[in-house]
Structure 1
Amino acid sequence: MRKMLSLISSALRLSAGRTGAELVNEGSRVVVSARTYADFTPQATFDIKKCDLHKLEEGPPVQAVLTREEGLQYYRTMQIMRRMELKADQLYKQKIIRGFCHLYDGQEACAVGIEAGINLTDHLITAYRAHGYTLTRGGTVREIMAELTGRRGGIAKGKGGSMHMYAKNFYGGNGIVGAQVPLGAGVALACKYQGKNELCVCLYGDGAANQGQIFETYNMASLWKLPCIFICENNRYGMGTSVERAAASTDYYKRGDFIPGLRVDGMDILCVREATKFAADHCRSGKGPIIMELQTYRYHGHSMSDPGISYRTREEIQEVRSKSDPISMLKDRMLNNNMASVEELKEIDVEVRKEIEDAAQFATTDPEPPLEDLCNHIFHNEPPLEVRGTNPWVKLKSVS
């Protein structure tokens, strides 16, 4: 009771100058809010799907604890991703976003679950379906949307576009299929060399999983016991080709042969989080690399130039949406266990929509980068002027 009176008193002080009716309503709202939030379940334990294992005697737990605060945070982040990608779809169709654009809606549990299982001081590299990871690695919605429209306020100054976004400890968005995998092993080598107990999460899709350079990387990472989590985001289609038509073996978690692996339900954020924690502990303990296959699904086509229904049916997409949507699964868990109210989640939805609209407004009005910036930001530090091509307005100098 003392706490409630204190809340009412604070609300009344902040509301000085309003009418008596407004003050009463404000005080009542605070009392209701305090009582309601106190009645919510602060945390709950959920049964999750058991992971398939390769060369492992035991795997991640089959139960996961979720706190109310974590659930609300996960829900908000996944909703931001979903709404951001739907807005990108709209802007692309209006020809405001041009070029390549690969959307992530449907796969939100992968990015948010992985991030919940590692630290921001760890490192991450992925392919060109990168918007979600740019967000979880610290990029803002405004920066991401402005990058998509090629504006100066974009996270890569408007010069990277959809496929080439970067942030602290995040090495992109890479456009060459599978080429980020050996780069990720290099980052993991740096982690081991520096001795900071950090690791690198290296992501690729099922379409890239047959690349020779990936198997070469497995070999080196295993020999050198690199702290690298190789993650195959298996969304069932490499461009327009189903995994069954593209791979003699679709057990991507076993592809490392001599490297242990996990196959995980990539539509369940708690499954992804617990598996990532398990994999991170494996790497940090000095056991070397581990492979995770996340079984997930993309709602859009491979890219915006792919309608996504010439090689799969609308009914298939709708079935996944109705039975396995990552946001709906988390929402149902929280509501069914009294961890949140319908009104509270609706309020988050409204806030997210406003954030996306504000970011889209910025992304369509921010200036494009000026011509003099065209050859800047090539090197991390200021380059010597004799490096050819760094500045086309400086007379080139031979150093031979």
Structure 2
Amino acid sequence: MEQSELNITAEKGLHFLYQMKLIRRFEEKAAEQYTKAKIRGFLHLYIGEEAVAVGVIQALTADDVILSTYREHGHALARGMSPKAIMAEMYGKQEGCSMGRGGSMHLFDKSKNFYGGNAIVAGHLPMSVGMALAFKKQGKAQISCCFFGEGAAAEGEFHESMNLAALWSVPVLFVCENNLYAMGTAIRFTHSMQQLEKKGIAYGIESKAVDGMDLMAVLAATNEAAELIRKTGKPYLLVCNTFRFRAHSMFDAELYRDKSEVEEWKKRDPIPAFEKYILDQQLIIESDIKALNARIELEIQQSVDFAEAGTLEPIDKLTHFVYSESIK
């Protein structure tokens, strides 16, 4: 699908802008709360990559399932999960989406068909193939969408999953978010073939690379991919070449890349670029943006207030769910 074929209405344009801005402000607030020791453990921010989550997830139905990495806040928000439940989870509160037991890396919401937040690099790729196989055997018209980074594409699970997905012909949308540095090693040191889409082609899987900093490009590519998967039932690999503006995690000293490189990528920030596009197309006006920003600021503050007012799990319940048991 060409970008010119996209029907971006005022309503859609404003919604996409809202989602990207919500993700950005949520992540900025999460970083702020982390420095205040309100959020503990690991925290991996999605700042800079918002066009990928928003562009991909809009092509999915409510019945499609999503599996993600530990950098999943953006995916969860784009899927429609509550900012309050996510922030409370990051605070470790019982009101969080994983009852305060998962934290930043393990967001989960069955009602949204959002299955993580998986901390093991590439560990969720086989799971996505298994879910797609189940859909096929049950005769369900659902897609299993799996987000992962280029670091995961160097793992054995990636190759096993691609191979089995192709052999079994199952409806998986593999989305590689290639931000060039994985956990802190440049892609040129970890991949002999840096054009990652060619790895899918090697398995006979339809594959495409797209500019992950351009929301319109991601929208067009994902709509095309999803349509093809639903038509054929076969897997598809979409490589979104993107860049995270923040370090790998809040613990990362970021000594592996120059600040000048980061600043150059920031000039391609997908949010102001899309904002300018819909303004130029006269789909929205400046007052719409002001109202949108005010709405988001309120939602972010409400999420913090909700997390602050949440409750910690009682000590006598800390051994719950060590073994399988029902939630009462």
Are 2:311 and 1:367 equivalent residues in the alignment? yes
Aligned partner (choices 50, 75, 84) of residue 17 of structure 2: 75
Are 2:220 and 1:274 equivalent residues in the alignment? yes
**8 A contact 2:3–2:216 mirrored in 1:** no
What secondary structure does 2:237 align onto? strand
Name the structure 1 match of 2:271: 327
Equivalents in 1 of 2:247, 2:72: separation in Å?
A: 15
Equivalents in 1 of 2:35, 2:212: separation in Å?
A: 29
Equivalents in 2 of 1:70, 1:379: separation in Å?
A: 44
The residue type equivalent to 1:248 in the other structure is: S
Name the structure 2 match of 1:100: 42
List per-residue Cα deviations over 1:187-206 (Å, max 9, x = no partner).
11111112121110111101
Are 2:6 and 1:61 equivalent residues in the alignment? no
List per-residue Cα deviations over 1:159-215 (Å, max 9, x = no partner).
000110111311100011111100110111111112121110111101111101111
Say which structure, 1 or 2, has more relative contact order (CA 8 Å, 6+ apart).
Answer: 2
What secondary structure does 1:231 align onto? strand
What secondary structure does 1:202 align onto? strand
Equivalents in 2 of 1:137, 1:62: separation in Å?
A: 23
Equivalents in 2 of 1:71, 1:235: separation in Å?
A: 25
Q: Return the TM-score normalized by structure 2.
A: 0.94
What secondary structure does 1:91 align onto? helix
Residues 91/279 of structure 1: CA separation in 2 closer, same or farther (3 Å cut): same
Name the structure 1 match of 2:97: 155
Equivalents in 2 of 1:224, 1:379: separation in Å?
A: 33
Larger radius of gyration: 1
**8 A contact 2:69–2:118 mirrored in 1:** yes
List per-residue Cα deviations over 1:213-268 (Å, max 9, x = no partner).
11111111111100001111001111111111211111111112121200011111
What secondary structure does 1:241 align onto? coil
What secondary structure does 1:186 align onto? helix
Aligned length: 323
1:365 is displaced (CA, Å) by 2.7
1:377 is displaced (CA, Å) by 5.0
Structure 2 unaligned runs (5+)?
none
Are 2:198 and 1:254 equivalent residues in the alignment? yes
Equivalents in 1 of 2:218, 2:324: separation in Å?
A: 34
Name the structure 2 match of 1:118: 60
Residues 183/357 of structure 1: CA separation in 2 closer, same or farther (3 Å cut): same
List per-residue Cα deviations over 1:120-150 (Å, max 9, x = no partner).
2111101110111112223111111111110
Q: Return the TM-score normalized by structure 1.
A: 0.78
Aligned partner (choices 223, 248, 265) of residue 302 of structure 1: 248
The residue type equivalent to 1:199 in the other structure is: I
Within 5 A, what are the aligned runs for 1:104-183? 104-168=46-110, 169-183=113-127
The residue type equivalent to 2:257 in the other structure is: R
Identity of aligned residues (%): 37
Name the structure 1 match of 2:142: 198
What secondary structure does 1:285 align onto? helix
Structure 1 unaligned runs (5+)?
1-59, 384-400
